[in-house]
Amino acid sequence: MFDNVSIRSKLWGLVALASIASAAIVGAGLWLNYQRMHSDRVQSLRFMVEAAHSMAAAYEAEAAAGQITREEAQSRFKRSLLGMRYGGQEYLFAITLDGFGFAHPSPKLMGQDVSGVKDTRGAPILMDMARIAKASGEGTYGYFWNVAPNSDETAAKLSYIKTFQPWGIYIGTGVFIDDIRGAFLNTLWTVLAVAGLLAVPAVCLIALVGVRLSATIRSLSVRMHALADGDLSVAFPEATRRDEIGAMASAARVFLSNAEEKKRLEADQAATLRRSEEDKRRTLADLAERFERSVGEVMKSVSHETEAMEREAQEMTRAAGQTDRLAGAVASATEQTSTNVQTVAVATEQLSGSVGEISRRVADASRIARDAATASERATGKVTGLAEAVGRIGTVVSLINDIAAQTNLLALNATIEAARAGEAGKGFAVVAGEVKSLASQTARATEEIAAQVAGVQSATGEAVAEIGGVARVIEQVNGIATIIASAVEEQGAATQAISRNVQQAADVTRDVARDISGVTDAAGQCGKMAYAVLEASRQLAQQSETLNGEIGGFLRTLRTQ
């Protein structure tokens, strides 16, 4: 709370506190002086009463000794008491404890009831004194009395009383104490005048110091706030002073120097930051250029290899189709052979009458077998070409896999460069992540193509084996036809052998039909695989185009950093 009070208020508070403390000290001193004067006055009254009391005791002692009677002793005391004066007109008196005058300068009170004697405020002063005497034996009593017998002016008066028990009286005297009050007031006014004479210049001096100090501190505060707001044109001439204000101004001047140094450092930092940004942009531009060249070459290679793979896949598709057609032709030939064998079987029953017809049929079978052998050789060549094409596709797949690995490596390098670039390379890192993702997708597609190619290679090998079996069967058919020809020449003796051979030919023909069906299925599977390779190559081309677009966007983002 005290910290929120202004310095001027604090100074005035100190002045007020000092004034109150001074007033309290002066008041206490004056009050002690008043009490001392009052005590001195009481002591003087007590001295007079004690003297009268001693005198009464002396007379009582003489009466007790029988030197005089008590009445004589009391009479002497009264004369002596009434003759005692001090201070010019002050006197002593004696009143009985039951309220009758015993010895008093006023004759009308002698032996009279004094209960009706009252001060100017109506207090029964003599009866009050009697009660004090009865209760305490001695004491003081204050009241107000006329200054003069015929005057209406009243003043405070103080009496001291003491009981003289042998006679049943109390002895007292009183004096006006307005002089004590006057002396107290005179001293008070003197002290106040001196204090006023000292306080006025002191207050003026404190006010001047407070105003100047407050104005200086307020001015320092305004300039320090301006300095805090960035105004470096402020000055602090108070720093030459050797007081606390000078220390504050010196500290503010240090703040000013630090602010100027901070501004200079901020300017240097801004220049350094601009140079750093320019260097970063140049570095990113160079990096983008190198990356574009490297990735462009890789993407061209990927595109060329994709086109080559697509051409090979199309060629493989055509080869598979041709294989299918050749297998169909072989199947047709096999069916024809089967028909001929059945014809031979029928003709065997009529062998004796149709030897010439059998010879022609055998010649036809030999020719068809040769045609089938020729077709089988062509199918073998096509399937062998298909196997070679599949092998080339495997080479292309390996090349694509290598390209995907290179792309993944480039994406990793781009991620590292983005991490080095810090906040400015966040966009770079995102694009690099997309490049890495596309490279991973390319690798997965390449693995799928490799799996399909492996399947095609396996099916192609099976087709080659099956076609070789067909060729062998056809060779067997050709041999059988030769045997049939020989049997025709020996028809008489070999009718049963011909029948058996015809049955064997029928069985072999069925086997050939089944083998040709397997070749047809293998050719169809080869066609499907070739189509899958073609679709994979097209998908790879699309992904390559997407990757190229992402790389272009990445390079544009990199160049704008």
Q: What is the pLDDT of residue 449?
A: 67
Q: What is the pLDDT of residue 281?
A: 77
In angstroms and rounded to an integer, the radius of gyration of the C-alpha atoms of the chain is 74
Structure tokens at 274: 């601009």
Q: What is the pLDDT of residue 471?
A: 64
Q: What is the pLDDT of residue 425?
A: 66
Tell me the one-letter amino acid at 499. Answer: S
Q: What is the pLDDT of residue 552?
A: 77
- Coil, strand or helix: which one is 110? coil
Q: How far apart are CA 539 and CA 98, in angstroms?
A: 144
Ordered by start, the domain boundaries in the chain are: 2-202, 287-560
Q: Helix/strand/coil (H, E, C) string of 477-538?
A: HHHHHHHHHHHHHCCCCCHHHHHHHHHHHHHHHHHHHHHHHHHHHHHHHHHHHHHHHHHHHH
Q: How far apart are CA 456 and CA 320, in angstroms?
A: 10
Which fold does the domain 2-202 belong to in CATH?
Answer: Beta-Lactamase (3.30.450)
Structure tokens at 292: 């574009």
**Are the beta carbons of 316 and 396 closer than 8 angstroms?**
no
66: phi then psi, degrees, rounded to nearest 5: 85, 10
CATH architecture, range 287-560:
Orthogonal Bundle (1.10)
- For the chain, 561 residues long, the average pLDDT of each consecutive 10-residue run is 66 77 79 80 94 96 94 96 87 95 92 91 94 95 85 88 96 88 77 80 78 78 83 83 81 80 85 83 76 72 71 72 68 66 64 63 70 71 71 71 76 77 71 73 75 73 69 66 66 64 66 66 70 72 76 73 67
Structure tokens at 504: 């064997």
Structure tokens at 212: 């100047």
Residues 6+ apart with CB under 8 A from 363: 485
Q: How far apart are CA 420 and CA 244, in angstroms?
A: 53
CA distances from 522 to 319, 323, 386, 455, 542 (A): 12, 9, 12, 11, 30
Structure tokens at 353: 């009458």
- Coil, strand or helix: which one is 171? strand
Q: What is the pLDDT of residue 65?
A: 94
pTM: 0.36
Strand pairing partners for 158?
A: 142, 175
